Amino acid sequence: MISLGDLKFLYAASCVFLGLIILAPTLAMVVSFPGGEKFSELWILGSGHLIEGYPFNVSADNVYSAHLGIGNHMGGLEYYLVYVKLRNQTESAPDSLNATPSGLAPLFEYRAFVFDGDVWEREVSFSLGGVSFEGGLCRVSSLVVDDSAFSVDKVAVWDQVNNGFYLQLFFELWRFDTTVSGFEYHGRFVWNWLNVTRSL
């Protein structure tokens, strides 16, 4: 048999439980619960928005394209900056282990405000100019990104293992940090290797 004290306790516990259920929607607006992992995405896609069809064998003065995208899962509006850089096999790349950017100067940049849960994407076009070959060297004098031309003076050495002259077009993601009132490297980068070939 249940005692009067136990009955009072069950009644009080039931009222509290029922009250929490009724007030849950209001509490959810007032109390912030810890969210999931906060992160940003950066990607490049080939033709047809697929993870294939990237420009690879490229020649002078031909225009190539890829799709660059940013996804925001940081919990609020973010201001992003994407640097476009070009390197040969010996120049510095971003360091994933230490989350440091490449020491190369950016050639071009994209800026975007992206709401939480949203995506920013655009087609990036590029071409190489002033390409010359001499012995085991390939020299590229200029890079055009979205109709803006830049002097690059990059030299690629013949890669005997992979049979080509390779340059890497890469994109670094930077995020505006309000605590320092400036952009900081966000530890994300994507790239596309380019095998520079002679025009047919």
Question: Are 128 and 60 a contacting pair, CB within 8 Å?
Answer: yes
The residue type found at 58 is V
Say how far apart CA 185 and CA 148 lie, in whole Å: 24
Global confidence as pTM: 0.81
Residues 108 and 148: beta-carbon distance below 8 Å: yes
Under 8 Å between Cβ of 167 and 86: yes
Structural tokens at position 62: 């031909």
pLDDT of residue 32: 53
How many helices and strands, by DSSP H and E, does the chain display? 1, 10
Q: Which two tokens stand for residue 44?
A: 């490049």
Residue 74 CA to residue 117 CA, distance in Å, equals: 8
pLDDT at 16: 62
Distance CA 53, CA 50 (A): 7
pLDDT at 13: 64
Q: Tell me the helix, strand and coil percentages in the chain, rounded to 5.
A: 15, 55, 30
Assess contact for 5 and 152: CB atoms under 8 A. Answer: no
Across the chain, which has 200 residues, the per-10-residue mean pLDDT values are 66 65 62 74 91 93 96 97 96 93 97 98 96 95 97 96 96 97 97 88
pLDDT recorded at residue 27: 53
Q: Strand pairing of 182-197 and 57-59? A: parallel
Alpha helices per DSSP H over the chain: 4-30
